[in-house]
Structure 1
């Protein structure tokens, strides 16, 4: 299946990101060939979406390593890569994918150290291993997203036609391609089962209006944009069959951090007896945290709320609280859709996330 939009371009030793701050008015790719450029792109949200953030961080470092003129020995190379990964992790605190990528890369490189000599050749081998693993992240993410689309579509197998509400942006622009929650919508559309998609504008950064709407129109998917404040009335009036959202972090009990406004959608869906699904690759799952109380919530600059396109819309002197994410408790979530399948609820209305992942990984290793 051809992927229509690319948030990330990595070809011919060149890494570019689509500047999503300019969409939908301008469609411009920018060079991202250094860690400093990657950090800035993530921090300013030129590139966003938990999977895309992690992949972009890895690839900007991979390109920087390719362009590195000085030859480092093994210990120097390890120090260089580890310090750059630590720096990139400071760009945004909530999306666990970034931290997982850094930890896994460190683990892979650490395990390789015992097989290499502390010389220039050893340093080059370690550098090339990082580059190889960073490049593999692109195809892995696309494959995972398409599996999420398949499992998510199966959640609506009993309906012949469905109307789906989504929030923020979880499509090709938030991932390496295809998308998570929007990937489910794309799969339903390709199966001829999607009657209509509804997208929240997702204030204050308007990812729904600027990005999800852009993707839906680009893909020629029947869709309507609504303001965030219309969601409850939409559920009552339009007969929504399901709400599907993404996740920046899912913890052990199933509590989920996602774009601000997700929590209130889950409450409204519960009241209207509408299934509420979270779509997330296993890289977004953090079983080291037991509940949502342990998740650090990023707070963004007040200007994002008081201005639109640098035009002030709020009164001078007003105080602003601008959390970028909220926490949806597991009790409000119907199922968590991963590339390994849908995590079901346990008897107390939460999720045994780590147990599910361990079972699935053991099962896949048998074949």
Structure 2
């Protein structure tokens, strides 16, 4: 099979994101990468859901993990009768898709596709775990290919020797945009905010950029304004956990404030992804609040006195007037005109 993860960094290879084999799912533990290359081994779909909830994998990692988790659920149900097996898979789909509330609608698209593949094959003498596994690889290949189209449109916005600031870890688009920039000979430099409290920028985005041969500098989360002013940043870009139809962009906490700075400095902000028909307005999005103790430490070392409180909203919402364009596989759209992306179709798009 032609694989779209070719020439990408270690952690973007399918088998290093999440992989089903022999009744188990292994997931790269991004909480400790790159200091350690360790894999969480899941022996049930509930363990996969817990790994997603516990941030073992994040960004687009949960979408591949969800499909692999559904393959594992099929393995768990291998000795059940047909109807019991279908019920088990339905319940597994609910468990996996609801692991994290902010991305629940997107995860539902993934697990529903796995259910459809299972239902179309359940009367045949086939191993359902392999049916779902192969479906997941096929869908992931298609997703990476579509992200490749997004990358082409995004890299159009990069000067030949430009400086780009990112936010958090945009998963596939990071690798694809760098691969595309290299193909075009665009010698870009990256400034990467660290993205506390999980440090996804420092650990993940910077690692991917370095692995793929680019000049990358990590900065702390309170440096974007200074860096934009002094280092000549040409473009600010991020992926999104949700792009609402009213133009609001939901992404890792801190995106909003960098977008404000970018607007003030005259730096365009391009968000990558597909508009979410499941989120007609920002009001339908649940902003996940995680364990506040995480902001009282840095990589396991406590930084605040005992008794001091923390607050940890995982995401924020950037309003459309701060967004220069929504970069998709079909082109770049105004945040005020996202329905045009779908044309006459009412069908929900598979997540990028």
Structure 1 residue 361: deviation in Å? 10
Q: Give CA deviations for 1:148-199 in whole Å, capped at 9, x if unaligned.
A: 211111123xx3321100011123xxxxxxx114532442244221331110
Partner Cα separation in structure 1 for residue 339 and residue 124 of structure 2: 36
Instruction: Identify which range, 22-31 or 249-258, moves more after superposition.
Output: 22-31
- Of 271, 276, 280, 1:278 maps to 271
Structure 1 residue 141: deviation in Å? 2.1
Go from structure 1 to structure 2 and tell me whether the alpha carbon gap of 1:121 and 1:100 turns closer, same or farther (over 3 Å shift).
Answer: closer
Which residue of 2 is the match for residue 64 of structure 1?
A: 73
Structure 1 residue 85: deviation in Å? 0.7
Aligned positions of 1:92-241 closer than 5 A? 92-95=100-103, 96-106=105-115, 112=120, 121=123, 130-156=132-158, 159-171=159-171, 179-241=172-234
Residues 1:34 and 2:19 are matched in the alignment: no
Residues 1:19 and 2:24 are matched in the alignment: no
Partner Cα separation in structure 2 for residue 123 and residue 340 of structure 1: 40
Partner Cα separation in structure 1 for residue 81 and residue 129 of structure 2: 9
Which residue of 2 is the match for residue 4 of structure 1?
A: 9
Partner Cα separation in structure 2 for residue 16 and residue 325 of structure 1: 27
3-state secondary structure, aligned to 1:358: coil
- Of 323, 336, 345, 1:351 maps to 336
Partner Cα separation in structure 2 for residue 360 and residue 336 of structure 1: 19
Structure 1 residue 323: deviation in Å? 0.3
Q: Root-mean-square deviation (CA), in Å?
A: 2.6
- Of 281, 293, 299, 1:291 maps to 281
Which residue of 1 is the match for residue 63 of structure 2?
A: 54
Kept in 1: contact 2:98–2:107 (CA 8 A): no
Partner Cα separation in structure 1 for residue 132 and residue 285 of structure 2: 29
Q: Which runs of 5+ in 1 are unaligned?
A: 172-178, 363-367
Go from structure 1 to structure 2 and tell me whether the alpha carbon gap of 1:253 and 1:103 turns closer, same or farther (over 3 Å shift).
Answer: farther
Partner Cα separation in structure 2 for residue 342 and residue 138 of structure 1: 23
Go from structure 1 to structure 2 and tell me whether the alpha carbon gap of 1:169 and 1:242 turns closer, same or farther (over 3 Å shift).
Answer: same
Which residue of 1 is the match for residue 350 of structure 2?
A: none
Which residue of 2 is the match for residue 365 of structure 1?
A: none
Which residue of 1 is the match for residue 254 of structure 2?
A: 261
Go from structure 1 to structure 2 and tell me whether the alpha carbon gap of 1:131 and 1:218 turns closer, same or farther (over 3 Å shift).
Answer: closer
Partner Cα separation in structure 1 for residue 129 and residue 51 of structure 2: 23
Partner Cα separation in structure 2 for residue 33 and residue 136 of structure 1: 23
3-state secondary structure, aligned to 2:222: helix
Instruction: Identify which range, 13-22 or 316-325, moves more after superposition.
Output: 13-22
- Of 280, 304, 324, 1:334 maps to 324
3-state secondary structure, aligned to 1:31: strand
Partner Cα separation in structure 2 for residue 24 and residue 127 of structure 1: 31
Structure 1 residue 18: deviation in Å? 0.9
Structure 1 residue 296: deviation in Å? 0.4
3-state secondary structure, aligned to 2:250: strand
Structure 1 residue 106: deviation in Å? 4.7
Alignment coverage as a number of residue pairs: 336
Kept in 1: contact 2:78–2:85 (CA 8 A): no
Q: Which runs of 5+ in 2 are unaligned?
A: 1-5, 348-352
Structure 1 residue 286: deviation in Å? 1.8
Structure 1 residue 103: deviation in Å? 4.0
Structure 1 residue 92: deviation in Å? 0.6
Partner Cα separation in structure 2 for residue 83 and residue 266 of structure 1: 39
3-state secondary structure, aligned to 1:94: helix
